[in-house]
Amino acid sequence: MKSKWVEAEAEDLVARGAKKGIARDLALRVYTTRLLGGDPRLVLHGGGNTSLKARAGDLLGEDIDILRIKASGADMATIEPEGLPALRLAPLRNLRALEAVADEKLVAIERANLIDPAAPNPSVEVILHAFLPHKFIDHTHASAVLSVIDQRDGEEKCAEVFGGRLGFVPYLMPGFRLAKKAIEVFERTKPSHGLILSKHGIVTFGESAREAYERMIEMATLAEDFIACNSKPRIIATLWREPEPVAAVAPIVRGACSQKDDKIEGAWQRLVLDFRGGSAILSALQSDLPCLSEGGVVTPDHTIRTKNWPLVLPHPDAGKLDEFAHATREAARAFVTRYRKYFAQQHKRVGGGKQELDPLARVVLVPGLGLFGLGQTKRDAVIAADIAEEWIAVVGDAERIGRFESISEADMFDCEYWPLEQAKLGARKELPLAGQIVAITGAAGAIGAAAARAFAAAGAEVAVLDVNPAAAREQAKKISASALPVECDVTDPASVRAAFDQLTAHFGGVDIVVSNAGAAWQGRIGEVDEGILRQSFELNFYGHQRVAQAAIKIMLAQGSGGCLLFNVSKQAVNPGPNFGPYGIPKAALLALMRQYALDYGADGIRANAVNADRIRSGLLTEAMIASRAKARGLSEKDYMSGNLLGREVTAEDVAQAFLHQALALKTTADVTTVDGGNIAAAMR
Ligand SMILES: [Zn+2]
């Protein structure tokens, strides 16, 4: 590992900071914090922290000693000076006289000593940084270091690899007791570069930002070199067998790792998936599986993202998907049972008072295929998968140089259920469609785009399907960072299959489909060319059937219900003159929706339709509105609001109707009219 310190970059940041009144030391603290945070071999997703001791004015202008430390859960890679809240140092140091401080009291003391009362909470390691005397302190969970210290003989390995440069602090969970222990070890052993926190990570210190940072790089490199020189070769015993593809495996995994909501009938707790494959993961799953399945986390704060153990599945042999599905469900059930037992036992040990978290796996290992990270959002799933990848590498290296050993189950529980650890995940607003995946066809059009926005705002992950790939990409960017653009021509069976494979491999499955793609053809029915009629049926009927069929296959594999939503049209029940080529397939589509509701109700899959009319969209352009209004002798406004309520209906109104149908768990075979009122088109 090489130092990424570039003098010119550092000075540039200092110069830019100076213009905003940011002191040199703080600018350099930000610089090396970003260097550390930008390397996944050192720090992942909110892990690690850095600090700086300085003199500064408090709110009343008095010059005092302060400690600046990374805010809890903040990402080091993108940190700004505000991400390092400042605290009065002296009162924190005085805490050393105490034997113990309760968590709530400690947080209160920390908050009471923030210079800016509105600043975010400081890192959970703030007291450790306060007790150590050094000006700059860096703390990471460097992978190579973890491989060396997550060992049965971690202390001996630490001495062998780092010599007297790093003191060895035995494992204690993060917080006040660890801080006391760390300063005690530091004062007793006087290490030159920093400390090892057993089964947790490494601390380096220095009088300058560069010194502390480069000591971190130097120590991580010593660990890397030790691993390179002392690794036993990996033994891979099993033969390669053809696995089922990710798109076939993912919905089975996702369904098995979801659970019925016990309060609301028909509701499920679902998670989103993120898949990782590649040769490093596959060979680790062959050689280290026993250790990975039981070994535990490589550093304590991973537990809130990955839980303590993964769910381990069998190899998904090609052509034997049913067997795999059966074994997966069994394994997932056993995982839940084990998690509940673990919670009950540990909860009893600590004397109660904790709320059990959901018992679903966050990392799933599939030998022969790869691994899945799971989370309530795609972002959470990606974080779980990132951590799992690093975890596999750390455990593998640890096994090559000795015997991997994690913290005890009791220690893992204490971290997993530590309120300060859970607080890192941030206060979450429980959105109604959290954990659900929606696929929307024709999503670059007016109604499709409005639906994508509405479903994303309700917490769903959105796949933006459109026949125009550039338009799909453009639209996905507008929806959210995690929206997935997918090219899909619903008139082409192969394109529909490929689109659903793609979104399933990406998100893990699908729960809701808004089958929206359509286009209008006209012609007097007795004279219209049959080719026109067939073309319209191809898009306005078969297009929906193909999409629904592809979705049903995935929903059945998941086994957690689902919802099909069809954009029909008032034409289905109230035909317009010369509009047969459009209205007739739409009437068939209405029947199709009812057939799905009938055939799949027992599987918990609902089917509903929206009949909308007169929406500004690709089917009713501004030019068409102008000419039709003129033909009827109406103003455009009067033409657009020519309904019982006298109100123009928008794409957003249609999107809200779809959203309502998705949320109405007891409603299927429903047609909701969104047309401002039209008695001739009324359903009943
Ligand atoms: Zn840590």
pLDDT-derived band at 247 (thresholds 50, 70, 90) equals very high
What is the distance in A from the centroid of ligand 1 to the CA of 655? Answer: 45
Q: What is the 41 CA–ligand 1 centroid distance (Å)?
A: 14
Task: Specify the pLDDT at position 237.
Answer: 67
Percent of the chain with pLDDT over 70: 99
Ligand 1 centroid – CA 39 distance (Å): 15
The residue length of the chain stands at: 684
Going from the Cα of 403 to the center of ligand 1, the distance in angstroms, rounded, reads 22
Q: What's the 51 CA to ligand 1 centre distance in angstroms?
A: 13
Of the chain, the percentage scoring pLDDT greater than 90 comes to: 85
- Looking at 222-301, which runs of residues are DSSP E strands? 259-260, 268-269, 272-276
Cβ pair 514, 439 in contact under 8 A: yes
C-alpha 499/C-alpha 496 separation (Å) is 5
For residue 199, give the nearest of 175, 160, 168, 177 by alpha carbon. 168
Residue 23, φ and ψ in degrees, nearest 5: -65, 155
Distance CA 536, CA 582 (A): 6
- Residue 493's contacts (CB-CB under 8 Å, 6 or more residues apart) are 546
**Distance, CA 118 to ligand 1 centroid (Å)?**
24
> 384 CA to middle of ligand 1, Å?
17
Q: What is the pLDDT of residue 683?
A: 84
205 alpha carbon – ligand 1 mean position (Å): 15
- pTM across the whole model: 0.94
Pair 444, 472: CB distance under 8 Å: yes
- The pLDDT score that the predictor gives to residue 442 is 97
Least confident residue range of 126-130, 296-300, 352-356, 618-622: 618-622
C-beta of residue 56 within 8 angstroms of C-beta of residue 85: no
Q: Is the pLDDT of residue 631 over 80?
A: yes
Distance, CA 296 to ligand 1 centroid (Å)? 16
Average pLDDT of the chain is 94
Collapsing DSSP states into helix, strand and coil, what is residue 439? strand
The predicted model gives 187-202 an average pLDDT of 96
Q: How far is the CA of 90 from the centre of ligand 1 (A)?
A: 23
Q: For residue 274, how far is its CA from the centre of ligand 1 (angstroms)?
A: 25
* pLDDT tens, residue by residue, 63-120: 899 999 999 878 899 999 999 999 999 999 999 999 998 888 888 999 999 999 899 9
Is the pLDDT score of 162 beyond 90? yes
Model pLDDT for residues 524-544, shown as the tens digit of each residue: 999 999 999 999 999 999 999
By mean pLDDT, which of 59-73, 304-318, 372-386, 545-559 is the weakest? 59-73
**Structure tokens, 42:** 């050192």
Which tens digits make up the pLDDT trace of 547-571?
Answer: 999 999 999 999 999 999 999 999 9
Q: Which two tokens stand for residue 420?
A: 């300060």
Of 396, 204, 417, 202, nearest to 301 (Cα)? 417
- Calculate how far, in angstroms, residue 120's C-alpha sits from the geometric centre of ligand 1: 18
Q: How far is the CA of 387 from the centre of ligand 1 (A)?
A: 14
Which letter does DSSP use for residue 604 in this model?
Answer: T
Residue 73's pLDDT is 75
